[in-house]
């Protein structure tokens, strides 16, 4: 076994993401974090198109984040792998797949807007993947800033046990710093140093009562997570700082507590305490439970601990086109060690893939590595048949992690190449873009012969067509975007259909019983065969029934739109061994399914 480098300490790794509703100041916050951590020497500005993490030309022009960008920085001897995600709803897939592989998150809120629609979506996504999180109430310098209202909105609309660990010193134009409720001291930043320097001073008299009340609430809220703190609190004794820190960490990791901090990234205030909170309260890879998967052949449940000496396993969570190495695959390593030139199994395809290059990323810049370890988030080159959601593993110890599910597109439009030369390049460009973005789809309309592209919104498709022109040199004419309507059900239902006929002297007999139930929004369409393995009907007929239901769901009973967010269970099949007929089973399956949907 190779020795691990002296710099590697898995307890000191933090894999985190920054997420927010659009215009909450998330990318500006990221720029400040990079600046104070010494990763960059000049802070970029979103409105000037100079933000480090918004590296795409369209991000600079539009002033928004379009694609999740990864970087690595160091703070207090900890390595922080940070992913800056988009805030616009059209690019929510970037948040979804980032949260799938991250251990912690910082949710940035605007002090004026508080909890906004995309904040709620992000919160649901973080709940789905069990991601511990902090909240940073940004823009405390803005007119109308209201820290207490933002915290109250988190409690009411997100159901979060959100409790401040620092409070603002002033609001709007009077905002000068924050009051640390753990150590009961104030931080006042030097504006002339761009916030790099600050003074630690006594809490101003006019804020002392408010600080004492807020601290009492903080201690009371976290005491339940630590026996020592609870004992000190009940006996009215002053708890040591390290005991409070330990209790906050426990509560955050147990999803019972959300620390809230105040600041203004634009005015360079409150960022260092946020970095301290990331190190102090968000988990390292060994603080989260071992990741679960299954054996690709037996289906037996397996786990992988965050250990660099364990069998290698990783999840590919993002594919990016790259002009130097064709495509980069971003992976989260859950266990083991990835080595340059190493061959790893993709259980979905059954093929081995070679890691030709390993990079640590900083937006679109890269640092070559010879190895990467459990807990790392890196980009690799050389993978041929690996797509978003695929597992990579040790061929001798195979495992498959749960696949990633993405929402169905909601809008579509026709595109056509301007010339014959563009026609040849268009398919290649669309294929590349669809590999990168699981919420982007394209197909050819069988009736009109037009190429139809679909995505999550008009902005999404506008970005796609602009990328086709600029990055792939494909000139296209785009039609008018149209909403992609879908149908679903609101309650469970069951139906059984029996086909028993004689056609041209040939007896047709088949019975199919199905049950349908509503699924969570974004689940898609799932068909489950819940019959026992030893059910006496051949596997090919059961697969035929499943496929027939999948075809039938493309045209719903209300207006002919595809059906989504439904779980369909095949609960029984009746048959006559002397008259087994594929068309009979197909018809019975289609009718039983559609009858159940109509009842629901």
Same domain, 206 and 254: yes
For residues 114 and 88, membership in a common domain is answered with yes
385 and 347 together in one domain: yes
Q: What element of type H or E holds 572?
A: strand 566-574
In sequence order, what are the residues at sequence separation of 6 or more whose Cβ sits closer than 8 angstroms to the Cβ of residue 424? Answer: none
Residue 311, pLDDT score: 96
CA atoms within 13 Å, Cβ hemisphere of 575:
20
406 within a domain of the structure (yes/no) = no
Q: What is the pLDDT of residue 326?
A: 72
277 shares its domain with 339? no
- Spatial separation of the C-alpha atoms in residues 90 and 82, rounded to whole Å: 22
CATH assignment of the domain containing 459: 3.30.70.870
Report how far residue 54's alpha carbon sits from residue 67's, in angstroms, rounded to the nearest whole number. 8
Q: State if pTM tops 0.75.
A: yes
Together in a domain, 167 and 128: yes
In a domain, residue 260? The reply is yes
Residues 361/366/371/374 CA torsion (nearest 10 deg): 0
Same domain, 498 and 478: no
Write out the residue range of the structural domain in which residue 367 sits.
291-401
For the segment 361-401, what is each residue's pLDDT rounded down to a tens digit? Answer: 887 788 999 999 999 999 999 998 899 999 999 999 999 99
Q: What residue ranges in 202-336 does DSSP mark as E strands?
A: 258-262, 291-294, 301-304, 313-322, 326-335
What is the pLDDT at residue 3? 47
Calpha distance 97→128 (Å, rounded): 12
Query: How far is it, in rounded angstroms, from Cα 468 to Cα 470?
Result: 6
Q: CA 364 to CA 346: how far, in whole Å?
A: 26
Does residue 1 belong to any structural domain of this protein?
no
Cα distances (Å, whole numbers) of residue 356 to 113, 185, 342, 370, 468: 46, 51, 8, 10, 27
Please identify every stretch of the chain with a pLDDT value under 50, giving residue numbers as ranges: 1-3
Q: CA 126, CA 135: separation in Å to the nearest integer?
A: 12
C-alpha–C-alpha distance, residues 414 and 408, integer Å: 18
The answer as to whether 523 is a domain residue is yes
The pLDDT of residue 46 is 64
The CATH number of the domain holding residue 567 is: 3.30.230.10
Domain finish residue from 221, 252, 284: 284
- Say if residues 99 and 129 touch (Cβ distance below 8 Å): yes
Residue written as token pair 């149209």: 482
Please state at what angle helix 582-599 crosses helix 539-552, rounded to 10 degrees: 40
The pLDDT score that the predictor gives to residue 421 is 86
- The pLDDT assigned to 45 comes to 67
Q: Read off the tokens for 511.
A: 């019975």
Contact present, 378 and 330 (Cβ < 8 Å): yes
Q: Answer for the pair 194, 231: CB distance below 8 angstroms, yes or no.
A: no
Cβ density class 190-201: b for 16+ within 10 Å, e for less: eeeeebeebeee
Q: Let me know if residue 574 belongs to a domain.
A: yes
Distance between CA 41 and CA 431 in Å, rounded? Answer: 38
453 and 472 assigned to the same domain? yes
Q: Which of 401, 422, 452 is the last residue of a domain?
A: 401
Closest CA to 557 of 514, 524, 510, 591: 591
Query: Can you tell me the distance from the alpha carbon of 569 to that of 171, in angstroms, rounded to the nearest whole number?
Result: 56
Place of tokens 């198109």: 49
Are 321 and 181 in the same domain?
no
Domain for residue 3, yes or no?
A: no
Helix (H, G, I), strand (E, B) or coil at 138: strand
Determine phi and psi for 445, rounding to 5 degrees: -70, 120
433 domain residue, yes or no: yes
Residues 562 and 498 in one domain: yes
362 and 509: one domain? no
Q: Does a structural domain hold residue 5?
A: no
Are residues 460 and 345 part of one domain?
no
- pLDDT for 437-446, tens place per residue? 899 999 998 8
User: Would you state the pLDDT for residue 1?
Assistant: 38
For the chain, the domain total comes to: 4
- Alpha-carbon separation of residue 574 from 107, 208, 395, 515, 590 (angstroms): 53, 76, 42, 15, 15
Among 284, 314, 339, identify where a domain stops. 284
Same domain as 144, residue 38: yes
């Amino acid at each position: 076994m190779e020795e691990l480098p002296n710099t590697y300490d898995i307890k000191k790794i933090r894999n985190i993401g920054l997420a927010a509703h659009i215009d909450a100041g998330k990318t500006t916050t990221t720029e400040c974090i990079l600046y104070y951590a010494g990763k960059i020497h000049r802070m970029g500005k979103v409105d000037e198109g100079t933000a480090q993490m918004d590296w795409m030309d369209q991000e600079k022009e539009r002033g928004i984040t379009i694609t999740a960008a990864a970087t690595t920085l160091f703070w207090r001897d900890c390595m922080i792998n940070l992913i800056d995600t988009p805030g616009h709803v059209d690019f929510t897939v970037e948040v979804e797949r980032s949260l799938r592989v991250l251990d912690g998150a910082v949710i940035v809120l605007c002090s004026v807007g508080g909890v906004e629609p995309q904040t709620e979506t992000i919160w649901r996504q973080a709940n789905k993947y069990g991601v511990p999180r902090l909240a940073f109430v940004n823009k405390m310098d803005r007119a109308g800033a209201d820290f207490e209202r933002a915290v109250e909105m988190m409690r009411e609309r997100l159901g979060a046990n959100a409790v401040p660990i620092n409070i603002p010193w002033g609001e709007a134009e009077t905002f000068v710093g924050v009051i640390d409720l753990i150590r009961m001291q104030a931080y006042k930043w030097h504006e002339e140093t761009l916030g790099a320097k600050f003074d630690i001073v006594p809490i101003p008299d006019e804020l002392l009562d408010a600080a004492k009340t807020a601290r009492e609430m903080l201690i009371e809220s976290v005491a339940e997570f630590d026996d020592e703190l609870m004992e000190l609190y009940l006996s009215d004794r002053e708890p040591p700082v390290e005991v409070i820190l330990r209790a906050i960490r426990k509560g955050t990791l147990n999803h019972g507590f959300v620390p809230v901090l105040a600041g203004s990234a634009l005015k360079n205030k409150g960022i260092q305490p946020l970095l301290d909170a990331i190190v102090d309260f968000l988990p390292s890879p060994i603080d989260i439970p071992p990741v679960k998967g299954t054996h690709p052949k037996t289906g037996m449940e397996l786990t992988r601990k965050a250990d660099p000496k364990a069998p290698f396993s990783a999840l590919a969570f993002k594919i990016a086109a790259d002009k130097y190495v064709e495509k980069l695959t971003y992976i989260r390593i859950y266990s083991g060690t990835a080595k340059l030139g190493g061959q790893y199994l993709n259980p979905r395809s059954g093929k081995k893939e070679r890691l030709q290059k390993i990079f640590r990323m900083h937006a679109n810049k890269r640092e070559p590595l010879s190895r990467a370890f459990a807990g790392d988030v890196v980009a690799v080159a050389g993978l041929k048949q690996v797509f978003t959601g695929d597992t990579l593993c040790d061929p001798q110890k195979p495992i498959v992690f749960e696949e990633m599910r993405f929402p169905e597109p909601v809008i579509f439009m026709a595109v056509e190449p301007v010339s014959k030369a563009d026609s040849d390049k268009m398919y290649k460009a669309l294929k590349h873009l669809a590999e990168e973005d699981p919420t982007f789809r394209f197909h050819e309309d069988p009736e009109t012969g037009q190429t139809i592209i679909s995505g999550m919104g008009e902005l999404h498709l506008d970005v796609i067509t602009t990328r086709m022109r600029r990055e792939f040199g494909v000139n296209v004419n785009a039609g008018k975007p149209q909403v992609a309507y879908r149908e679903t059900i609101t309650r469970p239902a069951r139906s059984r259909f029996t086909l028993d006929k004689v056609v041209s002297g040939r007896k047709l007999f088949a019975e199919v019983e199905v049950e349908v139930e509503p699924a969570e929004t974004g689940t898609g369409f799932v068909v489950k065969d819940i019959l026992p393995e030893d059910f006496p009907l051949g596997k090919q007929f059961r697969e035929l029934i499943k496929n027939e239901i999948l075809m039938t769901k493309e045209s719903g009973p209300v207006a002919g739109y595809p059906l989504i967010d439904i779980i369909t269970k095949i609960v029984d099949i009746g048959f006559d061994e002397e008259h087994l007929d594929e068309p009979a089973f197909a018809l019975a399956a289609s009718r039983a399914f559609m009858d159940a949907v109509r009842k629901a």
